[in-house]
Amino acid sequence: MRFKKFISIQLHGTNKNIWRLILCTAVAFILVLALLVTAVISDVISEPQTPYYIGGGASVSAMKVLPSTETDKPKSSGKQIAITFDDGPHNVYTKNIVDELEKYGFHATFFVVGNRIDGTEYNGGSALKYVLDNGHEVGIHGYTHSTSRYYDTCSDAIFKSELGDTLNAIHKIKSDYNVTLMRPVGGRITSERTKNCGYSVIMWSVDSNDWKYKTPAGNSENIDTIVNNVMSGLKEGSIILMHDIYENTYEALKIILERISKEGYEVVTVSELLGNAEVGVKYSQR
C-alpha cells in the first residue's frame, strides 16, 4: 500500500511526466523482448519440419520435403509423340531432317529401305550412319519396296528376304545395332506374319499424306497441307507417318516442329513412346 501511495504522490508531483515516460519505455521493452523470444522459440520448433536449406547437412526427410534436385524433376511433360519416316535413308533430306530434329533435342524413328542403304541412288549409307550417330531409332521397312512384294500377298521366302536383307544392310553400317521394330511396306501384313516376324510391328495414327503433295517441290500450298494433315490429328501418344525423301516433307517438318514444341509436345522414338513394345504385336499409337 505504501508503494501505491508513493506512486500516487509522485504522479501528482513534478516528476509525473518522467514516470510516465519510464513506464511507457518499460512496457515497450517488455513487448519487444516477448516478440523476440516467441520468434526464436518458433524457429527452433519448426526447423525439423520445414528446413530452409538443402545440401550437405540435410536429412533424408528434408530431401523429400523440398523436391529441388535434378532427380526429382519429371523426365518429360507427358505430351509425348513419335514421328516416323519411311522409305529413306536419303543423302540430302534425311540428313536435313536429323539436323532440324537436333535443334529441339528430339529423336525420331526411321523405317529404312535396304537397297537405298546399299545403293547409290540416294546414297543412303552415309545418311543412315548420320541417323544412328545422332541417337535416332532405326527399324526395317523392306529391301526393295516393290508393290509386287507386299507382306500380305508375297511368298514366305520373299517376306523373309525383304526383312533379312534390310537387317543386313543396317548391320553393314552399324554391326551391333539392335533392330526391334518393323513397318510393313504399304502398311500391309497378315496377322500371322505380324505374330511371327520377330519384331514389333509399327503402324501409325496420324498420316501426313506427304507423298501426295511432294510435287511441285517448294510449293507453299502443298507444304501447308502436309502441316495441317499432321496438326489436325495430333494428340498425346500419336505415331505420325512421314517420308524422309521429299523436300516438301522437310519444309513441312520445320513448321511442324516449331508448332508442336510451342504446344509442349516432345518427340521421342517409337520405343521410348511405347515403353516395352512386344515382339509380334501391332501398334499404331500409345
- The residues annotated as belonging to the active site are 86, 243
Taking the least distance from each CB to Zn ion, the nearer of 88 and 125 is 88
Question: Which range, of 23-31, 83-91, 116-124, 207-215, touches Zn ion by CB under 5 A?
Answer: 83-91
Residues in CB range of 146: below 8 A, 6 or more apart: 185
For Zn ion, the nearest residue by Cβ is 86
Question: Which range, of 39-47, 82-90, 127-135, 197-205, touches Zn ion by CB under 5 A?
Answer: 82-90
Q: Which sign, positive or negative, has the C-alpha torsion 235, 133, 172, 243?
A: positive
How many whole angstroms separate alpha carbon 120 and alpha carbon 140? 19
The distance of closest approach from Cβ of residue 145 to Zn ion in the complex, given in angstroms and rounded to an integer, is 6
Type of residue found at 242: M
Taking the least distance from each CB to Zn ion, the nearer of 145 and 259 is 145
How many whole angstroms separate alpha carbon 188 and alpha carbon 141? 11
Burial of 98 (0-12, 13-18, 19+ CB in 10 A): buried
Taking the least distance from each CB to Zn ion, the nearer of 62 and 113 is 113
Taking the least distance from each CB to Zn ion, the nearer of 144 and 261 is 144
The distance of closest approach from Cβ of residue 98 to Zn ion in the complex, given in angstroms and rounded to an integer, is 19
**φ and ψ of 181, to 5 deg:** -120, 150
Taking the least distance from each CB to Zn ion, the nearer of 125 and 184 is 184
Per-residue CA distances from 82 to 8, 101, 218, 244 (Å): 90, 12, 25, 14
Binding mask 84-113 for Zn ion (x = CB under 5 A): --xx--------------------------
The distance of closest approach from Cβ of residue 278 to Zn ion in the complex, given in angstroms and rounded to an integer, is 23
Give me the DSSP letters along 49-110.
TS-S--STT--HHHHHH---SGGGS-SS-S-EEEEEEES---TTHHHHHHHHHHHHT---EE
Question: Which range, of 64-72, 79-87, 265-273, 275-283, touches Zn ion by CB under 5 A?
Answer: 79-87
Burial of 228 (0-12, 13-18, 19+ CB in 10 A): middle
The distance of closest approach from Cβ of residue 141 to Zn ion in the complex, given in angstroms and rounded to an integer, is 6
Count of residues of this chain found to bind Zn ion when the rule CB under 5 A is applied: 2
How do beta strands 181-182 and 200-202 pair?
parallel
Examine residue 162 and tell whether it contacts Zn ion (CB under 5 A). no
The distance of closest approach from Cβ of residue 140 to Zn ion in the complex, given in angstroms and rounded to an integer, is 11
Cis peptide before 184 (omega within 30 of 0): no
Question: Which range, of 31-39, 50-58, 70-78, 81-89, touches Zn ion by CB under 5 A?
Answer: 81-89
**φ and ψ of 268, to 5 deg:** -120, 170
Taking the least distance from each CB to Zn ion, the nearer of 86 and 162 is 86
The distance of closest approach from Cβ of residue 198 to Zn ion in the complex, given in angstroms and rounded to an integer, is 20
Residues forming the site for Zn ion (CB under 5 A):
86-87
